Amino acid sequence: MKRTTVLAATVLATVAAVVLAVAGCGGGGAGSGNRLSIATGGTTGVYYVYGGGLAKQLSAGIADTQATASVTSASVENIKLLASGKADIGFSQMDTAADAVNGKDTFTAKQPIKAIARIYDNYAHVVVAPGVRAAKVADLKGKRVSLGPANSGTQVVARRMLQAAGLDPDTDVSKQQLSINEAVQAVKDGTIDAFVWVGGLPTAGITDLATSRPDIRLLDTSDVLAEMRRTHGPQYVGLDIDLSVYKLSGTIRTVGIANVLLVPDRMSEQLAHDITKVLFERKAELSAVHPEARKLDLRLGRQTAPVELHPGAARYYQEKG
């Protein structure tokens, strides 16, 4: 009987320890033993680099917290990971996040997410391989084009750009769904004519491609902007890319879209507050990882509509005035 009692007590203690450990992962406040998973994007995109820097700062800046950045297909997948409890923080384009909270297009139901901050703007890159004749988006008709990986914000924008140019993305181009790494390699191999990538400046994969293939071209996409805004709303804006960022010449105007940092709506208020605090108060350290972090701004950070701010993030902004 004594051995049975001891064994039962040991089992109960073990179960209790497991329950406590699980309870401490991803949902508590500072000091509760958080393990945070950050859903980012492809390894040569800005999300992944930025996310790796954020993981390091969260691990250092929030007590008893270990954060890690994971490779994903980006915006759409990231939101699905947040909603399913498989990620705690996720990067997303604003258009995809808007679809998620409204339960439209890619999302068949409203997704349980909240925003931490608007962080920087993405730029639509339409990269044309050497020797391919195309001066505008409509000229991609009949060509081999990567629209970005499945479940990515890039693919959302790419499809909308083609539609705004009067093309059917499923029939008017030979569609491929490649990651930024795969698309860059495909241009080098001559197996695609063009690819769309939506990301910050500079995107490492495009820098690599421009270094080895300086005769690539980036298309001006300003001609499709008005139709995209008419059809999908004011999230889309016109932004200029000074191509010297890729050691190319000239300036183009392209479709731009803001990025937001998202969390599940069930995250504790204290943890969301602490994440927001680290994001802004370690701006210098994040900027050393990627220059897009220099654009962190408290005034812009809270402008996440139609995605609601998490109450913990809202409290941080209120504290800063």
Tens digit of pLDDT for each residue in 230-278? 999 899 999 999 999 999 999 999 999 999 999 999 999 999 999 999 9
Domain span at residue 138? Answer: 123-258
* Residue 152 sits in the same domain as residue 245: yes
From the list 266, 273, 271, 261, the residue with the least C-alpha distance to 312 is 273
Alpha helix ranges (H) inside the chain:
2-23, 46-61, 75-84, 94-102, 153-164, 180-189, 204-212, 225-232, 269-281, 283-289, 298-301, 311-320
* Residue 129 sits in the same domain as residue 223: yes
Tens digit of pLDDT for each residue in 194-244? 999 999 999 999 999 999 999 999 999 999 999 999 999 899 999 999 999
Measured CA to CA, the distance from residue 64 to residue 171 in angstroms comes to 52
CA 61 to the chain's CA centroid = 22
- The CATH number of the domain holding residue 157 is 3.40.190.10
Measured CA to CA, the distance from residue 138 to residue 194 in angstroms comes to 12
Q: Which amino acid is at 155?
A: Q
* Residue 213 sits in the same domain as residue 191: yes
Tens digit of pLDDT for each residue in 51-74? 999 999 999 999 999 999 999 999
Domain edge (last residue) among 242, 258, 274: 258
Work out how many domains the chain is built from and give that number: 2
Is residue 236 within 8 Å of 255, Cβ to Cβ? yes
* Residue 35 sits in the same domain as residue 77: yes
Measured CA to CA, the distance from residue 8 to residue 14 in angstroms comes to 10
Q: Which amino acid is at 53?
A: G
Buried b (16+ CB within 10 A) or exposed e, 97-121: bbbbbeeebbbeeebebbbbbbbbb
* Residue 251 sits in the same domain as residue 127: yes
In a domain, 296, yes or no: yes
